[in-house]
């Protein structure tokens, strides 16, 4: 699944950041740095993917060993089943906008982050006039007039 605008929600594995809406991020787990509270050692064990080391996204449980990880981290052909209860817990974590470094002040539940990013003025977008300019959404509105 290609994500629309998630920059800092990618795993902490050095992948190139997705900065422009419409480009695929190739993400797996959520980055821990967007959480407004640090995870306890117990929570780190429970909610951090054993494969990508991010906060689990769409939690899957392996059918044979009971390991939990992001659904996108599962190996091809690996039998798994979803863990909706764990997903609900992860989605309730309090977080800041991944674009806080650009100035966004939004705070909310992780489950509402994508809805926020769909309208966040700090998301980078390419100019629809095809001039090649990439600007923050709020600046782009002025540029395109």
Q: With 80 as the cut, is the pLDDT of residue 8 above it?
A: no
| Per-residue pLDDT tens over the stretch 85-101 | 999 999 999 999 988 98
Minimal CA–CA distance to 25: which of 145, 130, 135, 117? 117
Q: What's this model's pTM, rounded to 2 decimal places?
A: 0.70
Minimal CA–CA distance to 33: which of 124, 100, 89, 87? 100
d(CA 111, CA 128) in angstroms, rounded, equals 29
| Per-residue pLDDT tens over the stretch 40-51 | 999 888 999 988
Q: What is the mean pLDDT of the chain?
A: 79
Quick one: pLDDT at residue 27? 57
Residue in the block written with tokens 């951090």: 48
At 61, phi and psi to the nearest 5? Answer: -115, 130
Quick one: pLDDT at residue 66? 78
| Per-residue pLDDT tens over the stretch 15-67 | 333 333 343 344 578 888 889 998 899 988 899 998 888 899 889 998 886 78
DSSP 11-72: -SS-PPP--BTTS-----SBPGGGBSSPPPHHHHHHHB-TTT-SBPSSEEEETTT--EEEGG
Q: With 80 as the cut, is the pLDDT of residue 80 above it?
A: yes
């Amino acid at each position: 699944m290609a994500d629309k605008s998630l920059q800092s929600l990618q795993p902490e594995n050095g992948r190139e950041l997705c900065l422009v809406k419409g480009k695929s991020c190739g993400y797996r787990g959520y980055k821990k740095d967007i959480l407004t509270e640090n995870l306890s050692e117990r929570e780190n064990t429970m909610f951090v993917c054993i494969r990508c080391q991010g906060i689990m996204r769409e939690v899957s449980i392996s059918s044979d060993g009971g390991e939990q990880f992001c659904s996108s981290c599962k190996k091809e052909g690996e039998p798994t089943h979803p863990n909706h209860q764990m997903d609900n817990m992860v989605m309730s974590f309090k977080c800041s906008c991944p674009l806080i470094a650009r100035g966004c002040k939004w705070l909310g539940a992780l489950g509402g982050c994508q809805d926020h990013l769909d309208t966040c003025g700090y998301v980078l977008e390419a100019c629809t006039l095809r001039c090649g300019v990439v600007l923050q959404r709020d600046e782009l509105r002025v540029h395109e007039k």
